[in-house]
A and B are shown apart, each in its own frame.
Chain A
Amino acid sequence: MSEPCAVVGVGQTHHKSRRRDVSFAGLVREAAVRALEDAHMTWADIEAVIIGKAPDLFEGVMKPELYLSDALGGAGKPVFRVHTAGSVGGATAIVAAHHIQSRVHRRVLALAFEKQSEGNTQFALGSGRGASLGAGGAFAPFMRAYIQRSGAPEHIGWKVAVKDRLNALRNPHAHLKIEDISIEKVKESPMMWDPIRYLESCPSSDGACAVVLTDQQGGKEAAAAGRPPAWILGTAVRSEPGNFPGRDPVRPQGAVDCAWDLYRQAGITDPRHQIDMAELYVPFSWYEPMWLEAHDIAERGEGWKMVDRDETALGGSFPVNTSGGVLSSNPIGASGLLRFAEAANQVRGMSGAMQVDGARVALAQAYGANAQYFAMWVVASSLQPFG
């Protein structure tokens, strides 16, 4: 029987294209200090530090956990660094949770960050070579295939973009806040990777996110102090090869398997109705309906209809990315952890203007590389939300 694990503190930076006001460690410490304050803890209370980050070429600092060890209270403690491409922020939270669930530690700090402005994202993504496909180039064919096989009308992507950008206006930490966002504005923005337009794409952000995880006693103490935690009902990861003859990269098997492993752990048989909201890794608008289907929240071919019917809007029956999502803030290494953290805040009732009323069970997902790495968790306001 594994130890119940609780999220008792969440912190993040104000994400921006360039955080020129802080040093490398300063950026990460900002999120860490906020998470510790939220958890009513100090550096000394933390037993282990787990750091997640996307490729080191983004900042030109190799194995940054070495430099950051003492900056993050890691001197004399175990310091760990996870790297699973774009899903890394989620994988970081999961690895951190395992330390609690396996009873190796009682209080750990998980952090993920990116200070992309120190380098150039497109340069790094292409390992410095010319004609890089860029962030969206590899995914455009997958999205095109989804549109064809689902019969979705072209405006679905624009709708997702508008929804996420409206949600971002309610998120004090979001990078992109476009006050006058509209379908027209999205439609008229430059095409980036056909069919994805500029306003349907994620930004490149400097940012960091941190969460404090504790064991059951820590969660109960937080609850008793009037700070209800988010309880982790389940975690799952899957990796699959990114290219092989006959692979379906649009509805990857890993996405399906990861979700059902997770649902089984969490006691979920009807994800559409048992989950109250989701933070999904959507860096390009069409990925919202694609993930809704790949994780069997919507039937195949029906994901776009959830969007079209406004079910995934903040006031809808299955809100998705109430934080504004990756479309609004994308410090790549942190983006996965932001999904996990925002889901946790929802079930803690701490999402402020983004709060989904009565959210008791929330799903978070991150993916990486050629849609081949998946990291997911389900958090809830109690350990037994389904009775």
Chain B
Amino acid sequence: MPESTDIAIVAWGMTPMVRHTDQTEPGLLRVAIGQAVERAGVSRQEIDFTCEGSCDYISGATFSFVQNIGALGAWPPKRDSHVEMDGAWAFYEAWVRLLHGDIQTALVTGSGRSSTAEPSLIYPMEMDPYYLAPLGADPATLAALQARALLDAGKITERQMAEVAARSRRVAQDNPYAQVRGDFDVEELLASDYVRDPLRRHDLPPISDGACAVVLATADKARELCERPAWVSGIAHRSEVHNPALRDLTDSVGTRDAALAAGLDLSADSIDVAELQAAFSHEELLLRASLGLSERTEINPSGGALAANPIMATGLVRIAEAARQIIENGRQKTLAHSTSGPCLQQNLVCILEARP
């Protein structure tokens, strides 16, 4: 681990996550960034480093991220970078950059409009080009295989999956940014048809458009900008073997390894809130078990990805929500998780804490 350089989240912003927006992606970013910098009390010009997460195949154009620069206030020219990954990994890059110690503030974004095309036709393109993509291996199919593996291993039940789905959408009613909200009866959910046996519609994420922005700052700057910063006590990410057929789908080894590398003490049971990027209900159960989180940890009070799934921003939203629990809700220690690839292939874990 590097020498400790205090880095904290001091502000965040996000657009309401919706099934379909008429706004452009740069337009969504302007809203999210505007909120974040206003809450932080900094101007766009003052930000030392910017990093964005977005994806050409979701936007439907080559170099689609270039137009997003217009939302950043990149004048005078900015120290800036971009990852073709969820904003959570852009957050990671910003954290690494701030550790250098020569700059004080960073702005991270994640954005995507999944509504413009059919996800089941896009995501096969990120799968093994020889063995999976040509068969149109879509994410719901691969997720279903992981769900069945967990069920057959006796690690979860369909009722537990439905309970995760119902709880997520119920608590989402308190989240003005969430998309799928309401009271759903677990028995009724269990009586509905499978979409991808054993996954039912309620086990699947919605299609969402949205953007999220987070402001980070170091040490004294963070204390200046925020009364109760959410300090990054650790962050790490790990990849696993790509093809789900080559992995034990009943354990998220990568998530646990990332959490341990981020400094999670499994025995301390210290996490108040965990925001987990579980786009499928069974993933939440798997991630909770893989992280060894006890009953005392509240999972996804935001509603999580089952309530809103603006891909490329979903992970950063988890980080923002985990930070919000500290900044606004008086929590002490929270965990945010993001994921990429089929069946939780890559996982990022960020641990945030309040400090006196």
Residues from 245 to 288 in B contacting A, C-beta threshold 8 Å? 253-254, 257
Is there an interface contact between A63 and B55, defined as CB atoms closer than 8 Å?
A: yes
Chain B positions 82 through 118: 1 when the CB is less than 8 Å from some CB of chain A, otherwise 0: 1111000100110011011110000000000000000
Query: CB distance A82 to B83 under 8 Å?
Result: yes
Instruction: Determine whether the beta carbon of A67 is less than 8 Å from that of B100.
Output: no
Q: Does A273 contact B (CB under 8 A)?
A: no
Chain B residue contacts of A104, Cβ below 8 A: 1-2, 96, 99
Residue count of chain A within 8 Å CB distance of chain B:
61
> B63 contacts A369, CB within 8 Å?
yes
Q: A56-B84, A237-B81, A242-B66 are in contact. Are A75 and B241 (CB under 8 A)?
A: yes
Across-interface contacts of A237 in B (CB, < 8 A)? 79-81
Instruction: Please give the distance in Å from B33's CB to the nearest CB on chain A.
Output: 14
Q: Which residues of B contact A370 (CB under 8 A)?
A: 66
Binds A, one of B14-22, B67-75, B208-216, B223-231: B67-75
Partner of A69, one of B69, B123, B242: B242
Taking the complex as formed, is A31 at the interface, i.e. its CB lies under 8 A from any CB of chain B? no
- B71's nearest neighbour on chain A, judged by CB, is A241
- Is B239 a contact of A102 with CB atoms below 8 Å? no
Task: Give bound CA distance, A126 to B63, whole Å.
Answer: 10
Considering the complex, which residues of chain A in the window 234-272 have a beta carbon less than 8 Å from any beta carbon of chain B?
236-242, 244, 252-254, 257-258, 261
Kindly identify which residue among A75, A80, A242 contacts B89, using a CB–CB cutoff of 8 Å: A80
Is the beta-carbon distance between A78 and B80 smaller than 8 angstroms?
A: no
Residues of A contacting B125 with CB < 8 Å?
A: 56, 60-62
> How far does the Cβ of B279 sit from chain A's closest Cβ, in whole Å?
15
Known: A62-B125, A67-B242, A257-B76. A80 touches B83 (CB 8 A): yes
Counting CB contacts under 8 A, is B193 at the interface? no
* A152 CB–B CB distance under 8 Å: no
Q: Is the CB of B63 within 8 A of A55?
A: yes
Q: How far is the CB of B7 from chain A (nearest CB, A)?
A: 11
Knowing A70-B241, A104-B2, the reply to whether A56 touches B77 (Cβ < 8 A) is no
| Nearest chain B residue, comparing its CB with the CB of A124 | B62
Chain A residues in 8 Å Cβ range of B75: 240-241, 244
Check: A210 CB closer than 8 A to any chain B CB.
no
Enumerate chain B residues within 8 angstroms of A335, measured Cβ to Cβ: none
Chain B nearest Cβ from A209, distance in angstroms: 18
B81 and A63 contact, CB distance less than 8 A: no
A42 contacts partner chain B, Cβ-Cβ < 8 Å: no
Q: What residues of A have a CB within 8 angstroms of the CB of B97 in the complex?
A: 98, 102
Asked if A297 is at the interface (CB within 8 A of a chain B CB), the reply is no
B237 touches A78 (CB 8 A): yes
Asked if A102 and B345 make an inter-chain contact with CB atoms under 8 angstroms apart, the answer reads: no
B93 touches A95 (CB 8 A): yes
A56-107: which residues lie under 8 A (CB-CB) from chain B?
56-57, 60-63, 65-70, 74-85, 91, 95, 98-99, 101-104
Q: Tell me whether A148 is interfacial, beta carbon within 8 Å.
A: no
A2 beta carbon closer than 8 Å to chain B: yes
A80 to B89, CA, bound (A): 8
Q: What is the interface residue range for chain B against chain A?
A: 35 or more
B122: nearest chain-A partner, CB-CB = A62
> Smallest distance from the beta carbon of B80 to chain A beta carbons, Å?
4
With most chain B CB atoms within 10 A of its CB, the pick from A53, A102, A252 is A102
* Among B65, B81, B129, B346, contact of A24 (Cβ-Cβ < 8 Å): B129
Residues on B with beta carbons closer than 8 Å to the beta carbon of A373: 80
The answer on a CB contact under 8 Å between A81 and B85 is yes
Q: Looking at A61, A236, A374, which has the most chain B CB atoms within 10 Å of its CB? A: A61
Given A82-B82, A103-B3, A238-B80, decide whether A67 and B126 contact each other with a Cβ distance below 8 A. Answer: yes
Give B191-246 interface residues, CB cut-off 8 Å to A: 236-242
* Residue in A1, A57, A83, A95 whose Cβ sees the most chain B Cβ within 10 Å: A83
Specify which chain A residues have a CB less than 8 angstroms from the CB of B2 in the assembled complex.
102-104
Contacts of A1 in B (CB 8 A): 101
Q: Is B340 an interface residue (CB 8 A)?
A: yes
A78 in contact with B238 (CB, 8 Å)? yes
- 1/0 contact trace for B121-132 toward A, CB 8 Å? 011011111100
B: residues with CB less than 8 A from A are: 1-3, 50, 55-57, 60-63, 65-66, 69-70, 72, 74-85, 89, 92-93, 96-97, 99-102, 122-123, 125-130, 133, 236-242, 253-254, 257, 340-342, 345-346
Extra 12 A-B pairs, beta carbons < 8 Å, given A102-B96, A373-B80: A55-B63, A60-B129, A76-B253, A78-B236, A83-B65, A85-B63, A124-B62, A127-B62, A236-B79, A239-B77, A261-B79, A369-B66
